[in-house]
Structure 1
């Protein structure tokens, strides 16, 4: 994520964002499924970790967690969790091969440019171990636009997301959909897909 305005919004509202997401992730069945799908003591990347609630849950379950976010203020919050290794890193700075048993990209890649998604997803696939588990959640739609508080979003259709994953080498499995209120106070439809590397 390189859009300066989006980064600024998250920096300014990091505490409010934490209060919005922490309670939701504590009881998230998709996060529970993701954790149980990984081998005991396995390695996980929380991509766009925000305040670190998901990373903390993974670490508490015994996973070795690497959390990244492009917003330094979010890394400060994520680093409060003692078992989480958190660092400032953008989507295009993910590299390496065969490192992770799982990658959790929960409503983070929706801030990536549409034309960058194929390259990012391919790099994530490469960074994962064979048969690793990938979780991705995005908002549904077809446009690219800013929300009411200035964050840049790339909306995707289910067909587009499935194609992006397939082209990057993933095999798509479970699907979840829903509609929730975001930090900007508006409701949006979303889709989450579980995929194997």
Structure 2
């Protein structure tokens, strides 16, 4: 994510974002399933970790967590979480082969440009160990636009997202859809896909 306006919104609303996401993360069955499917002590990447709430839950469960986000203010909070190695990094800076047992990309890649998604997903697939678990959640739609507080979103259809994952080498194993209220106060439909590397 390199859109300056989106980054500025998250920088300004770091504490508010942490407050509204802490409760749902603690009760998230998708996160619980991701943790359960990851080997004990396994290495995981929390891509676009925000304030580190999910990263902290994963670390508390015994996983080795590398949390990255492009917003320094978010990383400052994530770095305070016990057991979380937090680092300012963009999607494009994820590189390497066979590093992680799991990658958690929860409502983060929706801020990537549509034409960058194939490249980013291929890099993530390379960084994931064979058989490792991948989670991605995106908002549903077919356009690119800003929300009411200025964040830029790339919306996807389920078919588009499944094709993107397949083209990058992932095998989708589960799908969950829902509708929730976001930081901007509006409701949006979303999809979460679990996949193997």
Aligning the two structures, in what range does the TM-score lie when normalised by the shorter sequence?
Answer: over 0.9
CA distance in 2, matches of 1:69, 1:151: 15
Which residue matches 2:106? 106
- TM-score of the superposed pair, with normalisation by structure 1: 1.00
- The 2-side partners of 1:16 and 1:129 are apart by 35
Deviation at 1:80, TM superposition (A): 1.0
What residue is the counterpart of 2:125 in the other structure? 125
Q: Tell me the secondary structure at the aligned position of residue 46 of structure 1.
A: strand
Structure 2 residue aligned with 1:180: 180
Matched, 1:89 2:98: no
CA distance in 1 between counterparts of 2:67 and 2:75 reads 8
SS at match of 2:117: helix
Q: Structure 2-normalised TM-score?
A: 1.00
Give 1:116's aligned residue. 116
CA RMSD of aligned residues (A): 0.3
1:74 and 2:54 equivalent? no
- 2:146 corresponding residue in structure 1: 146
Residue 119 of structure 1, CA deviation? 0.2
Task: Determine the structure 2 residue equivalent to 1:36.
Answer: 36
Partner of 1:13: 13
**Aligned equivalents of 2:98 and 2:162: distance in 1?**
22
Aligned structure 1 segments of 4 or more residues deviating by more than 4 angstroms: none
User: Which 5+ residue runs of structure 1 have no aligned equivalent?
Assistant: none
The Cα offsets for residues 96-135 of structure 1, whole Å up to 9 and x where unpaired, read as 1000000000000000000000000000000010000000
Instruction: Tell me the SS of whatever aligns to 1:16.
Output: helix
Matched, 1:50 2:50: yes
Pairwise CA distance, 1:143: 0.3
Mapped partners of 1:136, 1:111: distance in 2: 12
Partner SS state of residue 149, structure 1: coil
Deviation at 1:82, TM superposition (A): 2.0
